[in-house]
Structures are given as structure tokens and as C-alpha cells.
Amino acid sequence: MPTFTPAYSRARGIFTNTTAVGISYRVAASQVAHLVPDVLELAEEPLMTSLFLSYGMSPVGSYTEYAHQVEATYKGSKFHYNLLFILDNDAAIFAGRELLGFPKVLGKSVIQEFTGTRLVTGSTERPAGRKMVEFEFVPEKLATDAPPPDRWMLNLRNIPVTSRWSAPNRSRIPSCGSGNEVR
């Protein structure tokens, strides 16, 4: 890796001109249990969240992002466990995936607002040209300040064996937002 262009920025994470749409719903635990590590507990009908985000500017430039999360319990506390993030900025993928274990992959998300109406639409594609999810939404009012997060996020970080003489596979669950790993 060239030293003059690292894979991720060490700049403070300031994001401006951000648009966010969050959609929450419930599913049967059996529909998502195979996606969640055994150390996490799911309710009978866990809360799922789909987030569509557009960042006007960040330490790695502008980009869009789709996040898919499930509410899970770990050691008695509730968290948002991150199932998948789809982004259109490779530097943002590297930074979140390598440093914090976010399950980030390359794709495309779009949020559109239409002049003369309150309609907001959005979609996410992976691979390009194949829509995975889309929404239409008419907001009741504009939220100028985002509410503080109601719980931390969890990721699963896997450290694979690279040779037969290496230590066994290791997995750890870093929490995001607090800057600490949850053990």
C-alpha cells in the first residue's frame, strides 16, 4: 500500500450535508437467526432497521450508504447488530471494515427528493443494476436534528487462519460508538 495514500483516513469523522431515511419493522427470528452469531440473542420478532444515508462530505469525500441491522441482546444489553452495509466509496468501505469490523461491500444507494412534492424515494443496488431494496416515503415534517442513538452497534470481526501453523480462528465483537470492544 502506498504510504502517501492510505486505505483509510485518520481524520476526525465529521459528516456534513447528511440525508438519512430509516425504516424499522419486525420479522420472525427464524428469518434472520442464521445471519447472527450464536453469542447474540434475538427476540421472537426482532426489530430490523434499514438505513439509507447520503453524506455530502466526510473525511473520505461524499458517498451513499445502505445499512441493514437487527436488534440483538448481548450480555443483557440491547444493540443494533450490523448485518450488511452497501456503499459507493471504496475509502469508506476500507475505513469501516478494516478498523471497526463493519460488514461493508461495494454497491450503489440513491435517495431522491422531488421538487414540488414531499415524496422521497430510494433504492440500493448490488451488484449495479440489480435492486435489492427500494422505498417511497412522504415525511410528515422535516427533522433538522437527528435524535441521539438509542443503543450502540455491534459488528463481528473475524480473524482467519492464514497458514496451518497459525493460531485458531478468532472472532471478536467490537461495539461502535463507544470506541470500546464488548467482551
- Decide if 82 contacts 67 (C-beta within 8 A): yes
Q: How many CB atoms lie within 10 A of CB 151?
A: 13
The residue to which cell 469490523 is assigned:
101
Beta-carbon contacts of 69 under 8 Å, excluding residues fewer than 6 positions away, are: 48, 49, 50, 51, 80, 81, 82, 83, 153
Q: Output the pTM of the full model.
A: 0.80
Active site residue 131: no
Domain 16-138+148-176 has CATH 2.40.400.10: yes
- Please give the chain's pLDDT, 183 residues, in tens: 566 766 666 667 788 888 889 999 999 999 999 999 988 999 999 999 999 999 998 888 999 999 999 999 999 999 999 999 999 999 888 887 877 788 999 999 999 988 899 999 999 999 989 999 999 989 887 777 766 667 788 887 666 666 666 665 556 666 565 444 444
66 CB-side CA count, 13 A: 23
Residues 75, 78, 104, 131: which is the catalytic one? 104
